[in-house]
Amino acid sequence: MKRDFLRLWDLSADEIDELIERAIGLKRGEDAQKCPLIGRSIGLLFEKPSTRTRISFEVGIYQLGAQAVYMTPSEIQLGRGETIEDTARILSRYLHAVVIRTFGHDRLVRFSSASDIPVINGLSDSHHPCQALADLMTIKEKKGRIKGIKVAYIGDGNNVANSLVEAAGRMGFSLNIACPEGYEPDADVLEDARDAGGEIIILRDPREAAGRADVIYTDVWVSMGQEAEMEQKKQRFRPYQVNAQLLGCARSDVIVMHCLPAHRDEEITSEVIDGPSSVVFEQAENRLHAQKALLEMILSH
């Protein structure tokens, strides 16, 4: 039976622990000469442009011995009106899995429902679960554990925040989210994570969220496709910048994370992103290793 990965909920806590340990091993070079996916072809269907997602998946697929097939809607019949369902049925005949980076999450669900092969969410407007796997891996590397860690997310309650909320619900770390009123993560996502035992608190004061935090995390204030809201959001989020003053409210050994791309000196200052507390670029590298472990897990079923 095929396994999809559309939301972090699609993996159990034990599976996530196993995946992170495998990713850390892959990063150390374990099984470097093995190609467990040799002979496989994996599609990358991207309706949104990308740096980290595309390159990390292409490189990871190659290192696992498989072939990556990159597609945009303009290059296939989806761009000329073929339905999502028909595209899914056809690609299922050629490929062994497909990674999709799209806008509405419903497009992923429709594709998955018609697909006979595993579907992986490379990003949707609602969720970014592959990023969350790399985030958890980074926290485990830097802090030695995930359970009991205190994470402060400062900024917009976007797709990255939604996946972090699900991660908190699954993995037992506390998550303080500081954002302006009206910019919280999805209410349904929050409810589900809290029902699962997640300790997730919504705050308005970023200093309160950062207090005694082990991890401070931020993302851009204006996500791709939301450029019309740019000036309004910049005004609302200005007090939520991650800067040296905010870090002063946290633990002395706090680490700073950002999923990138960063708008330097908007949501985070260059002083912080280039400073000694930042693990941003290791976090970006970990996309490669976490996704390789995910592909192994998904395609082993």
Q: How confident is the model at residue 282 (pLDDT cuts 50, 70, 90)?
A: very high
Given the residues 241, 259, 283, 291, the one annotated as active site? 259
Q: What is the pLDDT of residue 225?
A: 65
Query: Residue range 106-128: average pLDDT?
Result: 97
Given the residues 7, 52, 54, 128, the one annotated as active site? 128
Q: What is the pLDDT of residue 270?
A: 98
User: In Å, what is the CA distance from 30 to each residue of 26, 59, 144, 290?
Assistant: 5, 17, 20, 14
Q: What is the pLDDT of residue 155?
A: 97
Query: Residue range 218-240: average pLDDT?
Result: 86
Summarised one tens digit per residue, pLDDT across range 161-175 is: 999 999 999 999 999
Given the residues 4, 125, 135, 219, the one annotated as active site? 219
Residue 1 has pLDDT above 90, yes or no: no
Stretch among 8-17, 98-107, 215-224 having the lowest mean pLDDT: 215-224
Q: What is the pLDDT of residue 230?
A: 80
Residues above pLDDT 90, as percent of the chain:
91
Q: How far apart are CA 185 and CA 12, in angstroms?
A: 22
Q: How confident is the model at residue 260 (pLDDT cuts 50, 70, 90)?
A: very high
Assess whether 131 carries a catalytic annotation. yes
Classify 186 as helix, strand or coil.
coil
Assess whether 259 carries a catalytic annotation. yes
pLDDT: is 192 or 224 the higher one? 192
Residue 222 has pLDDT above 90, yes or no: no
- Average pLDDT of the chain, as a whole number: 96
Given the residues 40, 54, 101, 170, the one annotated as active site? 101
Bridge partners (DSSP) of residue 255 are: 215
CB 216 within 8 A of CB 272: no
Residue 301 has pLDDT above 80, yes or no: no
Assess whether 54 carries a catalytic annotation. no
Given the residues 40, 52, 131, 214, the one annotated as active site? 131
Q: For the purposes of burial, counting CB atoms within 10 Å of the CB of 198, is it exposed (0-12), middle (13-18) or buried (19 or more)? A: buried
CATH 2.10.260.10 at 8-128+287-299, yes or no? no
Classify 195 as helix, strand or coil.
helix
Query: Residue range 214-229: average pLDDT?
Result: 85
Summarised one tens digit per residue, pLDDT across range 11-26 is: 999 999 999 999 999 9
Residue 141 has pLDDT above 70, yes or no: yes
- Containing 194, the helix (H) or strand (E) segment is helix 187-195
Assess whether 35 carries a catalytic annotation. no
Residue 134 has pLDDT above 90, yes or no: yes
How is the chain split into domains, by residue range? 8-128+287-299, 130-283
Residues in Cβ contact with 93 at an 8 Å cutoff, skipping those fewer than 6 apart: none
Instruction: Establish whether domains 8-128+287-299 and 130-283 are of one fold.
Output: yes
Phi first, then psi: give them for residue 202, nearest 5 degrees. Answer: -100, 125
Q: What is the pLDDT of residue 231?
A: 85
Q: Are strands 174-178 and 97-101 parallel, antiparallel or unpaired?
A: unpaired
CATH of 130-283, one of 3.30.70.100, 3.30.1330.60, 3.40.50.1370, 3.40.228.10: 3.40.50.1370
Summarised one tens digit per residue, pLDDT across range 43-78 is: 999 999 999 999 999 999 999 999 999 999 989 998
Residue 125 has pLDDT above 70, yes or no: yes
Q: How far apart are CA 20 and CA 228, in angstroms?
A: 37
